[in-house]
Amino acid sequence: MDVDPNPNLTASTTGPAAPPTPSSSSLADAIERRLRQQQQQQAAAQSIVPVPVFDSNYEKRLEFRRLIDPGIMRHNAKHIAMESLRILERLSDNILEHPDETKYYKFKPTNEKIKTFLVEPKGTLEYAVALGFHPEVENFQPFYIFRPRHMGDLQIGNAVIKEVLHIEEAKIQLQERARQEEKAARDAVKDKVKQAFIDDRKSTANRLQREAAARAARGSRPEPPKPTVRRQARMPGSGQTLTGQVVPETPPPYSRRGEDGEDGDEESEGEE
């Protein structure tokens, strides 16, 4: 994407994204190892011995890496540092893709987007200077103008930016994936708890319904008839004792002694 050097053009700025959750050093090391393995596998498939890019410029590459980390990455917010590197990448890409068009050789520090992501953050202008941009004044206007004799430095610095962006964006993707998986796991637990609650409510409702139906069924049944108790019939007639005395069926009525004078008279007669 080309950057218009027109000083009157205000580039649209990207809204600040929420800073990602810091990842552990082990995660970063794993990403870097994976990227190196992929590069080595691609080189082996092409029957090329894997060697670092710009190996003869090791010191220059090391210098650019230090300008990025700790220079830019550790002294600015993550989203600011990433957008600053993307702008530096676009500025250098424009020159490398259009080396004969001098309009891409300069940028104005008063441009709103340039000011926000290259002038104000720490370490970003230093990286632009290392790429070959130097402050100059044209028609009383400040500019940073690229000097063609630094084309080699521009190529190295551009390659280092792309490498860092590739690694950092891979980290962001892994972190985002981890957050999504964690959220999915939490949602799954919530769904299980909710489903268990619903199942328990259904089970309780079914049990109460069965109990109510059983009570209703018991209430609609007729009561069994009570068993009739047969009274033992008395055998009629009279009997005799061993002495031959006849015992009447019905005993004589009981009379209390002394109710009338008859008992007393009988006792008197007996005594005589």
Q: What is the CATH number of domain 54-178?
A: 1.20.58.2190
Q: CA–CA separation, 150 vs 220, rounded Å?
A: 103
- Whole-model pTM? 0.49
Domain boundary assignment for the chain: 54-178
8-state DSSP, 110: T
Helices (H), the chain: 25-45, 58-68, 78-97, 112-114, 124-131, 151-220, 261-271
Residue-by-residue pLDDT tens, the chain, 272 positions: 444 554 444 444 444 444 555 455 666 677 777 777 777 776 665 544 444 444 677 888 888 999 998 889 888 998 999 999 999 999 999 999 998 888 899 999 999 999 999 899 998 999 999 999 999 988 889 999 999 899 999 999 999 999 999 988 888 888 888 888 888 888 888 888 888 888 888 889 888 888 888 888 777 766 667 777 666 656 555 555 666 666 666 666 666 655 444 544 444 444 44
Rounded Cα distance, 264 and 104, in Å? 161
